[in-house]
Structure 1
Amino acid sequence: MNPAARFRALPLRSRLALLVTVAVALAVAAVTAVSWVMVRTQLRDQLDQSLRATNPNEQVLRRLNQGCASPPAQTQPDIAGNLNATVQILAADGSHCWVSGRTDLPVTQTDKDVAAGRLGRVLHDETTDDGVDMRVYTIPARAQPGGPLFAIAVAKPLADIDKPLSTLAWVLLLVSGIGVVGAGAAGLWVARTGLRPVDELTGAVEHIARTEDLTVRIPDEGDDEIARLSRSFNSMTAALASSQDRQAQLIADAGHELRTPLTSLRTNIELLAHSEETGRAIPPEDRKELLDSVKAQMTELAALIGDLQELSRPDAVSPGPLQVVALHEIAGAALSRARLRGPELSFSSALEPWYVRGEAAALERAVVNVLDNAVKFSPPGGAVEVTLRAGELTVRDHGPGIPDEDLPHVFERFWRSPSARALPGSGLGLSIVARTVARAGGSAELRAAAGGPGTEAVLRIPGAPTPPPPEPSVVPYQ
C-alpha cells in the first residue's frame, strides 16, 4: 500500500492531527532555519566590523621597523594584546613574522597581493596548520612614509561565533521538537473537539439505520458549518418522519376506504355462491340487482385504486413530459364527459383560449373531478356553469354548498363532508386536483358561490391566450 493510500485509510481525526503536525513542523523548521541564518549573518557581520575597527598600534609599527628576521620569544608580552586578535606582519614575497597570538597564520596569495599593493583591505577565511578556522583581515601598511609596503594580517578565530551558533542550533532544535510535539497534541485535541458534532451526527445516522427511529435530533447550537449540517440533518429526519406518518395515514385511510366496498362485494358474491351451492335460485330481479351492485363496487374499487396510485406517485416524478396544451380544449372534453354523467342537468360554458404547460391527461382528470363534484351535488334539473377567463377556470353548481368550517379540509386526502358520506366517492378527487394544478404551477380553491346557494371551484393555472411559437428545428451541419 502506497503512502497516499495508507494516509486515506487513517481516521479523519488522525489525518487532521497529522496534517496540523506536519504544517507546524514545516513552519517551525522554516522559522528555525531563517533564525539561525540571520543570527549567523549578524555574528559574522559583527566579527568583520570588529576586525575592520583594528588599527596597527605603535608597537606593531615598531616591529615593522625591526624587520621580520625572526619571531619574538614565546615569553615576550603580547605587543598587540589590545587588539584581542592574532596579528602577523608579512611581505610581498611571502615572508612573515609573528607579532601577537598563539599560532602562525598561513600566507595566501591574497595576503601577498595586499602586501604588494595589488589589493586593498581584504576580509577572508583561513585555516591554520593546527586546523583552527580564522577570519582574517589583511591591510596594507608602511613603517614610515615612503618606506617599503608591508601587510598586516589581523585574525580572530571563527569559533567565537561557531560556538554560540552551535548552542543556538541545539536550543532551536529542542524548542522546535517541543513545539512540534505540542502542535501534534493540540492538533489531535482540536480534531477531536471539532469533530465531536460529526461523531454525534454519525452516531445518529447509525442509530436511525439500525432502529429506523426518525425522532432522533442532534443539538445544533451556533452558526458554523457543523451547526448548519446538524440543522439540515434534523430537517431531513423531520421530513422523513412526516413522510412516514403520511404514508402510514394513507395506508390506514386506504384500508378503511377499501373495507366498505370489499365487504359489500364479498357479501354479494357469497349470496350468489350460496345460491349456486344450495340450488335455490335467486329471483331474476334480485340476481340482476346483485350483479349490478357487484359491477358498481368493482368500478368503485378500480377508481379508488387508480386514485391511490396517483397519490402515491412522488411529486418530483412526472408520468410524462410537460408540454404546451390548450386548457380550453381540455375543459371542453371534460365538459362533454360531465354531460353524459348528469343528463338531467343543464350545462353552460364560456371558454376563452388559454394555453398552459402541463400534462394533458392529468389536467383533464383534474377538471373531470371538479365537474363530477358539481354533478354529484347539483339538485335534479340544476345548472352547472363553467367559465375560463385569463387562466382562471371556474365551475359553479347550485347545490347545498359547503359549510365554512369544512372549506379548509376539502383538499385533504380521504376527507368527506358529512353530507357527502352517503354519496359514492373515495374522498381523493379534490386532493388529486390540488396536486395536479400545483404541478402545473397553479392553485386550486373551493369557495361559496356568490349570490345564492352552491359552490365555486376555481383553478388558476399560469399560461397565455396564444400558443408560443414552435421551437426552430436544428439542422445538423453537413
Structure 2
Amino acid sequence: MTGPLRRIRALPLRSRLALLVATAVAVAVAAVAVACWFVTKAQLEHQRDETLRNTTVEGDYLNRLYAYCQRATSLPPRSDSGLTVQLIDAQGGICINPDSAEIPVSPTDLAVVNHEARSVLHSAVDKDGVKMRVFTYPVKATQPGTAPTDLAVSVARPASEVDKPLSTLAWVLLLVSGIGVIGAGAAGLWVARSGLRPVDELTEAVEHVARTEDLTVRIPVEGEDEIARLSRSFNSMTASLATSRDRQAQLIADAGHELRTPLTSLRTNVELLARSDETGRAIPPDDRKALMASVKAQMTELASLIGDLQELARPDAADPGPLQVIALHEIARTALQRARLRGPELTLTAELAPWYVRAEPAALERAVVNVLDNAVKFSPPGGTVDVVLHRGELTVRDHGPGIPSEELPHVFERFWRSPSARQLPGSGLGLSIVARTVQQAGGEIDLRPAPGGGTEAVIRLPGAPQPPPEPPLG
C-alpha cells in the first residue's frame, strides 16, 4: 500500500487532482449503479413472485392433465406459454406435460399436498438444468366416477426471465459507469488545469524571482478566493523584499559615505605621523598634539558610527532584548550627568517626576542620551537645556537655532543631517535609533519647534508613577 501512495504523491498536483476527481466519481457512480441494480433486481423478482402467486390454472385443465397422466385422455394443451405446470400427489408422484421438464419435488411441496402448508414459493432446477421459480398450492382433481383427489399444483417460470434483463442492465450500467469515469477524469483534468492556472503563474513568478532576483514581478489578482489571497500575499512579500533590499542598499551606500570622511581624515593624519618617522623630520609639539587629538577624535567618531550601524543592522522585528520595569526618571537623571560632562558651559535644568516603564534598560538609556546630546550639540555657549518628565512625557528643550519646518519630516531618517549640522560631529543615526527604541517600548517621539526659539523633543512612554507590586514568592 505504501508503494502506490508514494507513486501517487510523486505525481504533479493537477494529475493528483484529476485522479482524485475520477476516483470520487467512480466510487459514486459504482455506488449508484450497484444500488440501481439491486433495486431493479428486487423489483423484478417481487413482480415475478407476485405474478406466480396470482396465477390460477383452470380446474378443467387440471382435471384433463390428471386424466392424461392416468392414461385416460389425450394430451391436454398447455395452459400458458412459458409456464410450467405439474401436479404432485401425496406420494410425491409428478404429472406433467411431456414437452416440459420435470421439477424435483421438495419437502415443502409435499407439505402443501398433505395440508401442512397453505402454499410455498421456492427456487428449483428442472431436469434440463434450467433454474426455475416455483409456486406450489393445493388443489383437488376429479375424475368421473371417482372421489376428488388431494393434489398440489406447482406453477413455475424460468429464472432467466429476470436474470437476462438483470444481466443486460449490469452491462449497460458498467458501460455507462465507464464512460462517466472517463468523462469525470477528463473534466477533473480540465478543472485542475483551470483552477491551478494562477498557481502556475505564481510558480513561474517565483522561479523568475529566484533566477533573476527581479523583485518587481507582480501577479494579477482576480477574485477573492484562496488563490487570490495567495497572489496578494506573494505581491506583498515581493514588495516588502524589494523595499528591504532598497533600504539595505541605501544603508550600505550611506554608511560608506559617512565612513569615508573620518577614514580619509584618519588616514591623512596617520600618513603625516608615518612620514615624520620615516623622514626623521619631527613635527612641532603643538602640531603633533593637535594631530593626535584629531586622530583620537576620528577614532571616537568611527567607534560611535560603527556602534550605531550595528544597532540599525538589527531587524525591526528582532527581539530587542529582555524587557524590564525600569525607572525612567533615574535613566533621565543618569543621562543628564553625562550631558553635563559634554557641555560644561551649559545650564541643564531638570524636573523629573517618578515614572516606571517596561523597556530594555540599555537601549532606553542610549535613546535618552542621544536626545540630550542633540540638545547640548545645538545649544549656544552659555545656553540652557530644560528637561521635564511628567506622567510619562519626557520633554527636552534647547534654545538653539531650531529646525526649519521643511526639515522636520526628515529628522528620523537614517544618515539625514540638516545643512546647518553637517560641520558638527555625528553620523545622522542618533534620532533614527531613538525613534526605533521608543517604538519598541510602545511609545512615540515627536520633534517640534519650541516657543521662543529652539527645538523641543518629546518622548511619550506608557507606564505608571509607581512600580508594579512584586509577585508573591512560591
TM-score by structure 1 length? 0.94
| Structure 2 CA distance for aligned equivalents of residues 473 and 15 of structure 1 | 59
| Residue in 1 that maps onto 2:405 | 404
The alpha carbon displacement at 1:330 in A equals: 0.8
Alpha-carbon deviation of 1:313?
0.6
> What is the distance in 2 between the residues matched to 1:100 and 1:135?
19
Q: Report the counterpart of residue 262 of structure 1 in structure 2.
A: 263
Partner of 2:41: 40
- The Cα of 1:341 is off from its aligned counterpart by 0.8
CA apart distance, 1:3: 2.1
In the TM superposition, what are the counterparts of 1:306-385 in structure 2 within 5 Å?
A: 306-318=307-319, 320-385=321-386
Give, in whole Å, the separation in 2 of the partners of 1:472 and 1:434: 36
- The residue aligned with 2:130 is 132
Residue in 1 that maps onto 2:103: 105
1:333-376 per-position Cα deviation (integer Å, ceiling 9, x unaligned): 11111111111111111111111111100000000000001101
Q: Matched residue of 1:55: which SS?
A: coil
Which residue matches 1:466? 466
The one-letter code sitting in structure 1 at the alignment partner of 2:354 is P
- Once the 2 structures are TM-superposed, how far is the Cα of residue 183 of structure 1 from its aligned partner? 1.5
Letter in 2 for 1:422: Q
- Normalising by structure 2, report the TM-score: 0.95
SS of the residue 1:466 aligns to:
coil
After alignment, is 404-413 or 180-189 more displaced?
180-189
Contact 2:52 2:155 in 1 (8 A): yes
The separation in 1 between residues aligned to 2:240 and 2:473, in whole angstroms, is 43
The letter of the residue matching 1:53 is: N
Distance 1:70 1:383, change over 3 A: farther
Asked if structure 2 preserves the Cα contact closer than 8 Å seen for 1:348 and 1:385, the reply is yes
Q: Which stretches in structure 2 are left out of the alignment for 5+ residues?
A: none
The answer for the alignment partner of 2:52 in structure 1 is 51
Cα–Cα, structure 1 residues 67 and 100, in superposed 2: closer, same or farther, change >3 Å?
A: closer
Going from structure 1 to structure 2, the CA distance change for 1:394 and 1:129 (only over 3 Å counts) comes to: same
Question: What is residue 235 of structure 1 aligned with on the other side?
Answer: 236
| Structure 1 residue runs without a partner (length 5+) | none
Question: How far apart are 1:99 and its partner, in Å?
Answer: 5.1
Q: Would you say the 8 A contact 1:64–1:143 is kept in 2?
A: no
In structure 2, how many angstroms separate the alpha carbons of the residues matched to 1:153 and 1:254? 110
SS of the aligned residue for 1:2 comes to helix
Distance in 1 (CA, whole Å) between partners of 2:133 and 2:333 is 109
Secondary structure class of the residue paired with 2:24: helix
Query: In the TM superposition, what is the alpha-carbon distance from 1:111 to its structure 2 partner?
Result: 0.8
Question: Does the CA-based 8 Å contact 1:92-1:112 persist in structure 2?
Answer: yes
Deviation for aligned residue 1:280: 2.2
Per-residue CA deviation, residues 188-219 of structure 1 (Å, 9 max, x unaligned), is 22222222222222222222222211111222
Q: How big is the shift at 1:449?
A: 1.3
How far apart, CA to CA, are the structure 2 residues paired with 1:65 and 1:93? 15
**What is aligned with 1:117?**
115
Q: Is the partner of 2:399 in helix, strand or coil?
A: coil
* 1:64 Cα deviation after fit: 6.8
| Deviation at residue 101 of structure 1 after TM alignment | 6.4
1:400, distance to aligned residue in structure 2 (A): 1.4
Instruction: State the secondary structure of the residue aligned to 2:448.
Output: strand
Aligned partner of residue 345 in structure 2, secondary structure: coil
Q: Partner residue of 2:139?
A: 141
CA contact (8 A) 1:106 1:127 kept: yes
Structure 1 residue 316 displacement after superposition: 2.4
Alignment match, 2:291: 290
Of 194-203 and 325-334, more deviation after overlay is shown by 194-203
Indicate conservation of the 8 Å contact 2:379/2:398, yes or no: yes
**Gap change, CA 1:72 and 1:88, over 3 Å in 2:** farther
Distance in 1, matches of 2:63 and 2:342, equals 140
Flag the 1:229–1:366 CA change in 2: closer, same or farther, 3 A.
Answer: same
| RMSD over equivalenced CA pairs, Å | 1.9
| Pairwise CA distance, 1:15 | 1.8
Alpha-carbon distance in 2 for matches of 1:131, 1:30 = 34
Q: What is the CA–CA distance in structure 2 between the aligned matches of 1:354 and 1:234, rounded to whole Å?
A: 44
Matching of residue 176 in structure 1 with residue 177 in structure 2: yes
Structure-1 residue corresponding to 2:415: 414
- What code does the residue aligned with 1:309 have? Q
Matched, 1:226 2:202: no
Q: Rate the CA distance shift 1:403–1:86 in 2: closer, same or farther, 3 A.
A: same
Inter-partner Cα distance in structure 2 for 1:329 and 1:214: 47
Q: Contact between 1:115 and 1:140, CA under 8 Å: does it hold in 2?
A: yes
Asked if the contact 2:67/2:73 (under 8 Å) is kept, the reply is no
